[in-house]
Amino acid sequence: MNAERFPALSLEEMTPRQREMAEYILATRGSLRGFEMLLRSPELGDRMQKVGEYIRYKNTIPQVLVEIAILLVAKKINSEFEWYEHERISAKLGLDPKITEAIGRDQRPALTEDEAIVYDFSCELLDTRHASDEVCKRVVDRFGEAALVDLTCTIGYYCAYAFVLNVGRYQLPAGVTSPLTAPGKAS
C-alpha cells in the first residue's frame, strides 16, 4: 500500500489554529492519530472532531451499541484503520467478539434485542441509503426520537470519517492484518 498522505505535524510546524485543534484533541483523546488529515483544514477538522466527541461520549444510544454501527460502516466502506480502532474499542466496552467477527465476515451475528435494533437499522441505512418505517419505529420505541437522530448521524459521521481515513491512507500498525478485504475480493 502507498504511504500515508498526511504525515504527523509537530506542534511547532502547526499554524495557531491547527495547534489549537491539536491541543484540544490531545487533552480530550490523548492522541492525534487519525486526525492528521483533518488538521490540514482546522476549521472543518475541529467541527468534525467535536461531532465525533458527541457521538462517542454523549450519544443517546449506549456506546457498546454505537460500536456495532461503527463496525458496520467500517466493513461496508472497507476502512481498515477505522475497523482496527473500533475493533479494539468494542472489545474494551464489552461487545461480544463473536459479533465483531461475524460483522467482519459479512454474517449476521447472534444478537440481543437492543443489538438487533441497532444492527438492523444500520444495515438497512448502509445498504439502501434509506430507513423503513419499521426499523425507525423499533429505534424510537426502544431508545426515543433523539436516538433515531443520533444513530442516523453516527452512521453518517463514521461514513465521512472512513472516507477521511481511506483518502489519508492511514496505515495499520506493523504486524497487524485486517479482516477486511477490498470490494470484489474473496473474504
The confidence score (pLDDT) of residue 181 equals 57
Q: What is the pLDDT of residues 112-171, one digit of tens each?
A: 999 999 999 999 999 999 999 999 999 999 999 999 999 999 999 999 999 999 999 999
Query: How do the domains of the chain map onto residue ranges?
Result: 12-57, 63-167
The closest alpha carbon to 166, from 82, 66, 60, belongs to 82
Q: 84 vs 100, 117, 118, 162, 171, CA distance in Å?
A: 11, 24, 20, 12, 10
The confidence score (pLDDT) of residue 113 equals 98
3-state helix, strand, coil in the chain (%, to 5): 65, 0, 35
Mean pLDDT, rounded, of the chain: 93
- Sign of the dihedral through C-alpha 33, 35, 37, 40: negative
Q: Which CATH architecture has domain 63-167?
A: Up-down Bundle (1.20)
